[in-house]
Amino acid sequence: MFADASGRITRFSRENADLAKAERLRNRAILPGLVNVHSHAFQRVIRGRTEYRSGAERDTFWTWREAMYHAANLLSPEAIYHSARMAYLEMLLSGITTVGEFHYLHRAPGGIPYQDRNLLAWQVLRAADETGLRICLLRTVYARAGWGKPEDPGQARFLTPRFEDFIGDTEGVRGALPSISRPGRAWVGVAPHSIRAVPLDYLCDVVSYAQSNHLPVHMHVAEQPAEVEACLAEYGLRPVELLHQHGILNSRFTGIHAIHITPEEAGYLGKAKARVCACPTSERNLGDGAVPADRLFAAGAGICFGSDSNVQIDLLEDARLLEYHLRMNKLERVVLAPGSSKDALARRLFASATETGAESLAGSVGSLEVGRGADFFTVDLDDPSLAGAGDALLNHVVFSLERTAVRDVAVGGEFVVRDGHHALADEIIRQFAGVQRDVWDAV
């Protein structure tokens, strides 16, 4: 594989191979880098800290959210940077080479804007650049606590009440990227947080801006039944119905979760050629429910994957769980296979973790083709999780791979992980441990 100065693949050839590199890659398979479409990097801080009963009558997504808000309001800009580096390091070590960062921490604790309104965006972009991860920064709009609800102090850091401010801040990031990032390594999308958090007129303005600038649009949709009930109460329509009626669904739209949807809503998403980002490791942790992937695929919608709350960062685990959740609900096997070939299901799920994810983020990555980014990872064919794979290698990768098998990771043709080691790993882990002590000693 040969790449040009910008890190794009130019050709494939065995000629003039570097024998030293070839020796290092002996008995390893090369796979296109995984694309993590939906991450909240700062939530890496709360991993393992909410697995107890809170004292509420029922512990749900909504009680977890209060704990998340509390932690979010303890993080300094530097702590956000260290938390992002930790999450991004873990992504790279698992074969992820591109992330969509759903970035909604914008203000200082208490809700006062920083003098540099994009200060926290710079921390996240800096973390991605230093670790070597490609990033689509999905600048998030959060304008209210919900329809008819009073302001929530826990959300004060998230808010951008005025559309003009959101556009100005987003343009500020877009304008600065050429001077702070290498070509193709960082770009911007927009992310109205959810229907409950963004009034309809504001939402339509944001989507219009994105369409005029050919930017991807990502949005939490129908993650919880309560969101559907609130949308029905405010607008008389379910979330996807509302988006469909106002022309928001199209091939640049990705709905995050889309768990509690009807067959008709799945049809709207499919007809629009929209995508759904499933986050099964996070969704099972939060008790959200299972994404109706069979219904979505049948309707023609694309499915990609995200690590969301980063309770676990393993995109191939997300891929297999998409299928396994349906197996448990339907009491049958091989639910999502598009054909009868022995690797049809593995091919569909791996494509969702690579090609469909790249399409969702509008990134020229996700497959090893001339003209695309030279992003790939290698797996050790002697790893116990792959032993004996033979001609069933892709099935082993999708359904059985352990992260111990991931040995090398390259982004833009540059190795950022060699033999399972990232050059900054020790420093990143040490500094993140300090953040954890500071945050949880304060709780």
**Helical packing angle, 200-212 and 163-180, nearest 10°:** 30
Question: Residue 383 — φ and ψ, nearest 5°?
Answer: -65, 140
Q: Which two tokens stand for residue 249?
A: 């669904």
HSE-up (13 A, CA, CB side) for residue 405? 25
The count of other CB atoms within 10 Å of the CB of residue 7 is 21
Active-site residue flag, 308: yes
Distance between CA atoms of residues 312 and 133, nearest Å: 18
Q: What is the DSSP string of 420-442?
A: TB-TTHHHHHHHHHHHHHHHHH-
Catalytic pick among 205, 308, 314, 383: 308
Residue 411: strand pairing partners: 414
Active-site residue flag, 257: yes
For 195, left (φ over 0), alpha (ψ -120 to 50), or beta? alpha
Catalytic pick among 257, 260, 396, 422: 257
Q: What is the DSSP string of 61-78?
A: HHHHHHHHHHHHTT--HH
Long-range residue pairs from 60-63, CB within 8 A, at least 24 positions apart, any chain: 60/287, 61/223, 61/224, 61/286, 61/287, 61/288, 62/224, 62/226
CA 108 to chain centre: 24
C-alpha distances (whole Å) from 298 to each of 122, 292, 401 are 40, 10, 27
DSSP 8-state symbol, 272 = T
HSE-up (13 A, CA, CB side) for residue 264? 9
Residue type, 214: H
Q: Which two tokens stand for residue 413?
A: 């043709």
Kindly give the pairing relationship between strand 275-278 and strand 253-257: parallel
The count of other CB atoms within 10 Å of the CB of residue 108 is 17
Distance between CA atoms of residues 67 and 296, nearest Å: 32
HSE-up (13 A, CA, CB side) for residue 404? 8
Contact 219, 180 (CB under 8 A): no
Question: Residue 144 — φ and ψ, nearest 5°?
Answer: -160, 165
Q: What are the residue numbers of the active site?
A: 257, 308
